[in-house]
Chains A and B, each alone.
Chain A
């Protein structure tokens, strides 16, 4: 917004901008995400020291991230130590739902912010005993755009796409699916009621990210979740092994 008249019209440049005397040019060459990337690297070192598997869950609002977490915790919390960071603009509803499962949970409210950043996560984990944690789940703010750019120090970004959203989401929001290592296609119990082309969706996701790993799941019926659990157990074992070395 222009500080003179408050106008925000694109291309509306006031001539005062052009009246500046020519000054001295200083080269800077600094990455604008460098601060976040530095903090994320710090988080990653800390998580690595504990052999902690860290997942950054990203999706549109309402894709079923919190329900996925509830199901996953119910199935695995007997064997694995979990901690959950919940990101939302407002309310502690999600952290309350997770806390009801008995797993340590902390809510981060971003206010006007549209994504979690590495700084928030670094302070968020101060609420957990990481030595007793095997998996840290970070549920990002529901948003398929901004969270793609902000490294939190995670091992994997996991995208959740529900079948009610349409099969072309990977093409519409390529940056997010490009950044994700895993894609969970959720709510497959609804497929009989929808015109959702699963093969097309998988093809779109692979077009944007050829190596993306895809699981088809329903958190309502439990279908397909065993493959997800198996993958989680394998990744925890890999992290522990890399820490022991």
Chain B
């Protein structure tokens, strides 16, 4: 359940930015989560609502944008989607894939009032 810590970070970062903007409250927060980031969206949503209490984010909505993981084959240079860390290249079946993305975990933007 490290999603709780992640949710606390979201609230912390969003609230700090909201205060800097002089916002009355935060309406939505958008986060990007890579497919291999090790974060379960449902658990993150669950924790987020709990963490928002008595902050400028109370009542706000979390939008989770899930990003696919990508890899490039070192042998045939094909780019492909990684469903797991050990997917072989769909073209030449090489196991020598270089992971390009998929571990993103960042707060992208928020809507304030």
Stretch at the interface among A27-35, A48-56, A180-188: A27-35
A residues within 8 A CB of B108? 27-29
Instruction: Give the contacts of A55-104 with B (CB-CB under 8 A).
Output: none
A41 → chain B, closest Cβ, in Å?
A: 16
Chain B count of residues within 8 A CB distance of the other chain: 44
A residues within 8 A CB of B23? 23-24
A155 to B50, alpha carbons, bound, how many Å? 35
- Among B2, B105, B113, the residue within 8 A (CB) of A146 is B2
A101 → chain B, closest Cβ, in Å?
A: 31
With contact pairs A17-B61, A33-B105, A145-B2 given, residues A26 and B110 touching in the complex (Cβ less than 8 Å): yes
- List 30 interface pairs A-B (beta carbons < 8 Å), by A numbering: A1-B49, A3-B49, A3-B53, A3-B58, A3-B59, A8-B46, A13-B61, A20-B27, A20-B111, A20-B113, A23-B113, A26-B17, A26-B110, A27-B108, A28-B110, A29-B109, A30-B13, A30-B107, A32-B13, A32-B105, A32-B106, A33-B6, A35-B9, A114-B2, A117-B5, A146-B1, A146-B2, A149-B37, A175-B38, A207-B86
B residues sitting closer than 8 Å to A (CB atoms) are: 1-2, 4-6, 9-10, 12-14, 17-18, 21, 23, 27-28, 31, 36-39, 42, 45-46, 49-50, 52-53, 58-59, 61, 84-86, 95, 105-113
